[in-house]
Amino acid sequence: MMNKYLVLLISCCMLVLQAQAQFDYKNPKTYIVAKVEVKGAQFSDEDAIIAMTGFTVGSTVVIPGDQIADAIKKLWQENIFSDINIRADEVNDQAISLIIEVRERPRISSFSFEGISKSHADDLREKINFIRGTILTESKRQTASRIIRNFYVEKGFFNTTVQIRTETDKVIQNGVIVTIEVNKGKKIKIKDIIINGNEAFSDKKIIKKLKKVHEKTWWRFWARSKYVPKEYNEAKAALMEYLNDEGYRDALIERDTVYAIDDKHVNVEIDLYEGIQYYFRNITWSGNFKYNSEQLSRVLNIKKGDVYSTTQLNKRLSGDPNGGDVSSLYLDDGYLFYNVEPVEVAIEGDSIDLELRMTEGPQATNRKIIVEGNTKTSDYVVLRELRTTPGEKFRRSEIIRSQREILALGFFDQEKMNIQPIPNIETGTVDLKYTVEERPSDQLQLQGGWGGRIRDFQGNIIAGGFVGTVQLAFNNFAAKRILDPKAWRPVPSGDGQKLSLAFQMNGVGYKNFSVSFQEPWLGGKKPNSLGVSGSYYVFQSVRSDYRNAIFSTSVDFGQRLKFPDDFFRSFTSVGYKYYDVTNPSVIFRSSFSRVVDGSVVYEPQAYINIITLRQTFERSSIDAPIFPRSGSLMSLSVEATPPYSLFRENENYEGMTDAEKFRFLEYHKWKFNSNWFFRIVGNKLPLVLSVKIEAGYLGMYNKRLGVSPFERFFMGGSGLLGQTFGLDGRELIPLRGYEDGSLDNENSGYPIYNRFVAELRFPVTLNQSAPVWLQAFAEAGNGWQDFRTYNPFDLKRSLGAGVRVMLPMVGLLGLDWAYGFDRVLPSDASISGSQFHFIIGQSF
C-alpha cells in the first residue's frame, strides 16, 4: 500500500515539474484535449483506460489543477497497474495532447502448491480463487495466505506458515508462475484441560461437556485431541448451555486461556463461576380458553421443585418430536396461530415463578394443498395419500401422518421432503405446500450369493452354490399409458403401480421365471390393492434323476383398515401351486417311499396340487421405508388349504402311496413377525436399535396324514436359497453365523421355528443416491419337530457385524460377518464359528 502512494506522489511531482517547465503555475489555464494516447498497455483496453481518466477528445483540462491527480487515482483504484504517469505531449494556446503511460501488473499464468497433499491442494484451489489470466495483487496474496492458514488451523495445525513465490513466465508475456509453499508445522494437541471454580460438577463432568475438545490420553486413541479455536469456542458455548439447563442460569466463564507447553501441545485452563442452582416454583397460565390451566399443566409436566431448564421448558411447550407437548394439543385442533410466551414474574432466592401467556387465536382451515417437486410421479398419486384435505380443520398430526404415507411410497428422498404451512391469519386459512424430490424407484436387481447347499436325504449335494437373479422391478409403473409412445422413457411411469419381471438360475440345473403386477388403488377411490402373479420353475439335478417343475399363480387383495387404527392393513390371497416331481424320494427322507416285501420301493413320480387361502393382518408405523428411525412393523398371517381329509374320513391312508396321499396337499401355516425401531441418539445420522421377533408353525388337519412334507421351515445363513430353490416349497429362515439351510432336521425341515434379532444400525450417509449404514447384530433361533420338543430357550446363537448400501437401479447390497456359538447338530465336532454372508436385494 505504501509503494502505491509513493508511486502516486512521484507521478504527481513529475507532473508538477513538467507544468512548471511548460505552464505558468500561478495562472492556471484551461485547455481543450486534442489527443489522448496510451502507452504500455499490452492486455488492457486503451479506450477503457482513457474513459476511466475522463480525458476524452474535446473535453477540457485545467493545468495546473487536480484533474490529472484525480485521473491517476482512478487508475490506481483498478489495481491493474504498477506504474502510472500522465504527461503533456503537444501544447499550444488552446489545445493539449496527453500521453498516459502505464505499466501493467503481472498476470497468473499458472500456480501450484508445495508441501501439502493433492487432495488438500484440490480443496484449496476452489477456496483461494486463483484463476489463470487474472492479475496477482498484494491483496489477493494476503487473502490466499489467510484462507490457507485458516484451512489448516481448523485441522489442528496452528503453526501453519504460507509463502507465495513468483517467477517470470518465459513463455507467456507479462505472466508469472506462482508457487504457494505451505508448511503445516506440527499438529497442536490439547494435553490437559484445567477447570477452576467448579463445585457442583466434577472436572470430569465439565470436560465431558466440552464437545470436540478432549485431552490427549493413550487409552482414548480413537478420540481426537487437536486444538481448533472455532471448535473450542463452540465447546464453551455448549458448556454454558449445559449448566443453564441444569439450573445454573448465572453460570459464566470468568476467564479462559490457552497456552503452549511445547511445540506440539497446549493446555486449556478455564475459570468457571457456577452460581446457585434455580428451580421452578409457581407456574401459572393466562389467555387460555380452550383448555383449562390444570389440563395444560398436566401436559407441560413440569412440577414445582424441578430444576429450572429453559431447554426442557421449550421442549414441553413446543419441541417434543413425539408430539406430547402443549403446542401439539393446540395444533392438532386447528389452532395454527397459537403462541405462548414464558415470562419470569418473580425470582426469590433460588426459585422462579413463571407466567405462561397464551394467544390461542382462531382455528385454521386448510385452503389449498400444493405438491411440488414430483417430476415423475403424477399429482394424484401423492394427493391420494394425504390426510390433509381442503376445507378440513388444520391438524399437525395429520401432516405428520401425510409425510409418513408419502415416504412409504418409496418414490421420494426422505431427507429432502419438506412441508410448509402458509397461514393467512386474516382469513383463518392455511395453504399446505408439500415439497418432494424424486429418487430412483425402479430397480434392475442383480441378486446373487454363495452360500449353503441343498442335499438329498443321503447327504449328497443336489443344489446350492452361486445363485443368480436378474429382476426388473418398475415400482412406479403406469399401465394406462402403455400405448402412448411418448411415455416409454424407458417405460410408462408415474401412477404408482408395480410391475416385476424376474429370472433366476443356478447353472444348467435350475431356472425360474416370474411376473407380477400390483394396482395399489383399485378403482382410484380407496386404498384397496389388487395384485396378480405367476411363475414357472424347473429344477434338474445334475447328480441324480431328480427333477421338479412347479407352476404357481396367485391373486391378492389388500385394503386399509380403520380398526383398531388405520395403520392396519388386510391382505387376502388365493393361490394355486402345481408340482410335477420325478423321483421325489431324493429330497424327502421319509416320504414317497415304502417297504414292500422287505424291500424299499421308491415312488417314481408325484403330482402335487396346493390350493391355498392366505389371510394377513399387517400394521406398519415406521417413519421411512429404507432406513426406519422409529415405529414398528408387525404382521400375522395364516395360510390354509381345504381340509380334504375331513371329507374322506373312511379313506385307507395306510394303503395309499405318498403320491396318492399328497395329490391334494393339506396344511395350515401360521406366521408372526414383529420388528420395532428405536432412535437411540442423533437426528441427522441417528443410531437406531432394531428388535425383531419371528415365529412360525405348520399344522395338520389329520394325524393319520401327518404334517405336510412341503412348506416346512429350514434355518441358517442369509435366507437367499429359500427364495430360490423351492424344491419342496421350503421356507429358509435367515440365521447368520450358520450355513444356509444347515439347521434342516436331517433334511426334513421343521414345522415350528423361532427367531430373535437385535441390531444396532448407524448410517454413514443417508444421501438418496446411495444410503449406507453399518450394523452390529445378535441373533438366536431354532426349529422344532413338534410342541412336545419345543423349547424357546434352546436356541442357536450368533453375533456379527455388516454393512448395507442401497444403490439406485440395483437395490440393497450387504456383506455380513457372523460368528455362530453353537453346534448345528449335537454330534458335530465343533461349533459353527465364523461365517460370511453376501446379500443382494434382501434386508433382515
pLDDT along the chain (844 residues), means of 10: 47 45 66 85 78 84 82 80 83 85 84 90 88 83 91 84 89 86 87 91 89 65 68 90 93 91 87 94 94 93 94 87 83 91 94 94 94 93 93 92 90 89 92 93 67 51 62 90 87 92 76 92 91 90 79 95 91 95 73 70 85 96 88 96 87 80 93 95 90 96 88 83 58 89 78 96 86 95 93 95 84 89 86 85 51
Taking alpha carbons only, the member of 625, 632, 476, 638 closest to residue 568 is: 632
Q: What is the pLDDT of residue 726?
A: 55
Q: 175 with 120: CB under 8 angstroms?
A: no
Q: 767 with 773: CB under 8 angstroms?
A: no
Q: Containing H/E element for 401?
A: helix 396-408
Taking alpha carbons only, the member of 96, 100, 73 closest to residue 22 is: 96
In angstroms, what is the C-alpha Rg of the chain? 40
Count CB-CB contacts under 10 A for residue 282.
12
Distance CA 214, CA 212 (A): 6
Three cell numbers at 106?
Answer: 503481472
Q: Give the total residue count for the chain.
A: 844
Q: What is the pLDDT of residue 16?
A: 43
Distance CA 388, CA 366 (A): 7
Q: What is the pLDDT of residue 13?
A: 47
Q: 192 with 216: CB under 8 angstroms?
A: no
Residue 631 β-bridge partners: 677
Q: 506 with 763: CB under 8 angstroms?
A: no
Q: Containing H/E element for 445?
A: strand 443-455
Count CB-CB contacts under 10 A for residue 701.
17
Three cell numbers at 711?
Answer: 412348506
Q: What is the pLDDT of residue 759?
A: 96
Set out the domains of the chain in order of their start, with CATH numbers.
2-104 (3.10.20.310), 107-183 (3.10.20.310), 189-273 (3.10.20.310), 279-359 (3.10.20.310), 365-435 (3.10.20.310), 527-840 (2.40.160.50)
| Cβ neighbours of residue 269 closer than 8 Å, sequence gap 6 or more | 193, 194, 196, 256, 257, 258, 259
User: What angle do the packed helices 138-153 and 118-128 form, to 10 degrees?
Assistant: 130
Instruction: Output the DSSP codes for 285-314.
Output: EES--SS-HHHHHHHH---TTSBP-HHHHH
Distance CA 689, CA 702 (A): 43
Instruction: Output the DSSP codes for 185-253.
Output: -PPPEEEEEEEES-SSS-HHHHHHTSTT-----TT-TTS--B--HHHHHHHHHHHHHHHHHTT-TT-EE
Q: 708 with 749: CB under 8 angstroms?
A: no
Q: Confirm whether pTM is higher than 0.85.
A: no
Three cell numbers at 821?
Answer: 456359538
Three cell numbers at 177?
Answer: 508462475
Three cell numbers at 341?
Answer: 410466551
Distance CA 91, CA 2 (A): 34
Q: Containing H/E element for 486?
A: none
Q: 470 with 423: CB under 8 angstroms?
A: no
- Where residue 605 falls (left for φ over 0; alpha for ψ -120 to 50; beta otherwise) is beta
Q: Containing H/E element for 718?
A: none
Q: What angle do CA 573, 579, 582 make, to 5 degrees?
A: 170
Q: 324 with 299: CB under 8 angstroms?
A: yes
Distance CA 410, CA 808 (A): 12
Q: What angle do CA 739, 740, 741 make, to 5 degrees?
A: 110
Q: What is the pLDDT of residue 1?
A: 45
SS3 label, residue 511: strand
Residue with cell 505552464: 23
Distance CA 488, CA 634 (A): 38
Cis peptide before 321 (omega within 30 of 0): no
Q: What angle do CA 434, 435, 440 make, to 5 degrees?
A: 125
Backbone angles phi, psi at 305, to 5 degrees: 100, -10
- By 3-state DSSP, what share of the chain in percent is helix, strand and coil, each rounded to 5? 20, 45, 40
Q: What is the pLDDT of residue 439?
A: 86
